[in-house]
A and B are shown apart, each in its own frame.
Chain A
Amino acid sequence: MLNPSLNLNSHLFNRDVELASMRAGFGEGLVNAGKADKDVVALCADLTESLQMEAFKQKFPNRFIEIGVAEQNLVTVASGLAMAGKIPFIGSYAIFSPGRNWEQIRTTVCYNDVPVKIIGSHAGVTVGADGGSHQALEDIALMRVLPRMVVICPCDAIEARKATEASAKTDQPTYMRLGRDKTPIMTGEKTPFDIGKAHIVYQSERLTGSSCDIGIIATGPILYRALRVAKKLSEEGKAVRVMNLSTIKPLDEKAIIKLARDAGAIVTVEDHQIAGGMGSAVAECLAEHFPVPIEFVGIKDRFGQSGTPQELVKHYGIDEMHIYDAVHRAMLRKK
């Protein structure tokens, strides 16, 4: 059952679960952040409407800068703004920013230690029809390797809004990853969100003590698929816990180690390359502190292609059946 203390969307297992765009959540959060702090500014690289930054632009025309199709300039201008005391949010597709401008992010944002907020949309194979060139599958790896960078991967539109508002209040470089699709609303207005805090969002009804059969850790909208698998496994008599790991860096090591201790085996789930992604971060933590078998559900060293999100999720091995199989493989490996 859903963790009752988190005030999650109680209808999320319904067929007609409400869908919403994470980009819209970001756009709303950006306006709120702009209202709360006059130093919040926004920059875009010719994708203002797609990134849902239009509302900010209308409301604060003096604080919005259109850079054109130039992502290296996008982040370096933001660096200068941040050095002068602003909190710049820069929006583009993840494949371009942080894809194309990685060195500029490293040097002018992280090395310079300024609070630029990088918003990368169209991450994951669920981008769909645009094809592999536009499906960022490497961005988590690119960002989490950078010293000082905070990496957030919200699970839905509401969390994207809260993450935007929260990141505007920190003085750290931050990357926030968004998908293209409308995705199921899983959290609620009252669901807590804190940067760096992971939550167990689901546990099987039969669970009374702390130990369970398997722990699933998911990041981003694919959490929805993990939750559906967990429900099925629970109905089949397994004792399952699911964690929403929406901040990948800094990693909530305490929560991850506790889950590994309770479950004895972990499955990580992400719409990103397995190499260097969220699962890698979890594995680094557990290998050092509490080694347990881990199965990784993610993209296996391949590029995406055109198709519907559902076709692609199935083809690339990150659908519900793959999560389900990974759970069983992980449980078999338990000592």
Chain B
Amino acid sequence: MRSRGSIDCRLHKMLLTQDKIKLLEKKAAAIRRSIVEMLIEARSGHLAGAMGMADIFTYLYFHALKHDPKNPKWKYRDRLVLSNGHICPALYATMAHAGYFPVRELETLRKFGSRLQGHPHRDFLPSLETSSGPLGSGLSQTIGMALSDRIDSGKSSGRQYYCMMSDGELDEGNSWEAIMLAGKEKIQNLTVIVDRNNIQIDGFTEDIMPLNPLADKWRSFNWHVQEVNGHDFSEIDRAVGEAHAVYDRPSVIIAHTIPSKGIPEFERKFEWHGKAPTTAEEIKVALRAVK
């Protein structure tokens, strides 16, 4: 399947026009602004991954996903599972901008009684597909959902299953148990997007626990593997279209992203993995970048 090559957007539900790309870029900028504002307000949270994945979340919620923000439990929706729950500010901000709940509610992130818990919890926000936080389990859950669909509908189900993972969480054994199972079960309507931002809390992934050659690892587990620039909507769209077209195995898109994307002073610094701008200077720098 690797040699299948590029597949245009015909198989895709919507054409990604230049106008649409401009619209997505505007949305992504607004979502990044929201992420920064909510983390400043919360005084804690994970900045780098959330900012790095803002473009991909924007693309999915405003272009690719079959979903209905006014009817979040719509039976025929695509499923998006956030396995690396700590980047939930990106998910929350995108959902708010997509109309799941008011944008102003983002101010309540990490506060007592908020629907926007520090890590996602469906008890508080039922429109989430899963509660998450502890790493390495989201892909298994997504596979379980897809298997349930297969049991009910056979292989012809039109639903797509997306699982968002971080590169750091590939240190977890549970992740590879899931990767092995999806290869075995040939779950063709499953697309994993790995946030390949090369950082984890203690440092750079290749210093802490090397993952390379990452694409080869997935390939050897019988996945269809693509690598994209995670900030280029055309590339993302092409890869997602191809992932949908692959019919005999699950797909992974390794999205090369820049941690803290959008705040040049913080970009690519692993120190921003697990914190929010809190000093007056940091807040000034962050807000100036996203205004």
Contacts and interface: CB of A to CB of B under 8 A. Distances in A.
Interface of A: 41, 62-63, 65, 67-68, 70, 72-73, 76-86, 88, 103-104, 107-108, 111-113
B177 interface: yes
Nearest to A65: B147
Interface string B105-132: 0000000000000000111000001111
B143 A103 contact: no
Contact of A107 (B137, B146, B147): B137
Given A68-B180, A77-B147, A104 B174 contact: yes
Most B CB contacts (10 A, CB to CB) among A62, A68, A80 go to A80
B217 to A, nearest CB: 17
B121 A81 contact: no
A111 B81 CA distance: 15
Nearest to B130: A112
A77 B141 contact: yes
A86 B147 CA distance: 10
Given A77-B181, A83-B129, A104 B121 contact: no
B208 interface: no
Given A108-B141, A112-B130, 13 more contacts: A63-B151, A68-B181, A72-B173, A73-B181, A77-B181, A80-B81, A84-B148, A86-B151, A88-B144, A104-B174, A111-B121, A112-B122, A112-B131
A40 to B, nearest CB: 11
Given A72-B173, A86-B148, A107 B133 contact: yes
Given A103-B134, A112-B130, A80 B177 contact: no
A62 B123 CA distance: 31
Given A86-B151, A108-B137, A78 B144 contact: yes
A84 B149 contact: yes
A80 B134 contact: no
A113 B123 CA distance: 8
- Mostly, the B contact residues are helix
7 contacts: A68-B180, A73-B174, A77-B144, A80-B140, A83-B141, A86-B148, A108-B130
B144 A84 contact: yes
A108 B83 CA distance: 11
B178 interface: yes
A88 B133 CA distance: 23
B172 to A, nearest CB: 9
A73 B144 CA distance: 10
A67 B130 CA distance: 21
Nearest to B137: A76
Contacts of A72: 136-137, 140, 173-174, 177
A104 B132 CA distance: 10
The 8 A-B residue pairs with the shortest CB-CB distance, nearest first, are: A80-B144, A76-B140, A84-B148, A73-B177, A80-B141, A70-B177, A81-B144, A77-B144
A73 B151 contact: no
B178 A77 contact: yes
A88 B147 CA distance: 12
A41 B131 contact: no
Nearest to A106: B134
A76 B134 contact: no
Most A CB contacts (10 A, CB to CB) among B149, B177, B178 go to B177
Most A CB contacts (10 A, CB to CB) among B121, B132, B142, B147 go to B147
B151 A111 contact: no
Nearest to A81: B144
Contacts of A103: 134
Nearest to B154: A62
A89 to B, nearest CB: 13
A76 B136 CA distance: 10
B11 interface: no
B145 interface: yes
Given A68-B180, A68-B181, A108-B130, A76 B144 contact: yes
A79 B144 contact: yes
B133 A82 contact: no
B13 to A, nearest CB: 22
A72 B134 CA distance: 13
Contacts of B174: 72-73, 76, 104
Given A73-B177, A107-B133, A79 B140 contact: yes
Contacts of B178: 73, 76-77
Nearest to A83: B145
B143 A77 contact: yes
A113 B122 contact: yes
Contacts of A78: 144
Contacts of A86: 148, 151
A312 B141 CA distance: 40
A86 to B, nearest CB: 5
Interface in B65-86: 81
B151 A62 contact: yes
A222 to B, nearest CB: 34
A63 B148 CA distance: 9
Nearest to B178: A73
Nearest to B150: A62
B151 A41 contact: yes
A113 B136 CA distance: 18
Contacts of A79: 130, 137, 140-141, 144
Contacts of A76: 137, 140-141, 144, 174, 178
A88 to B, nearest CB: 8
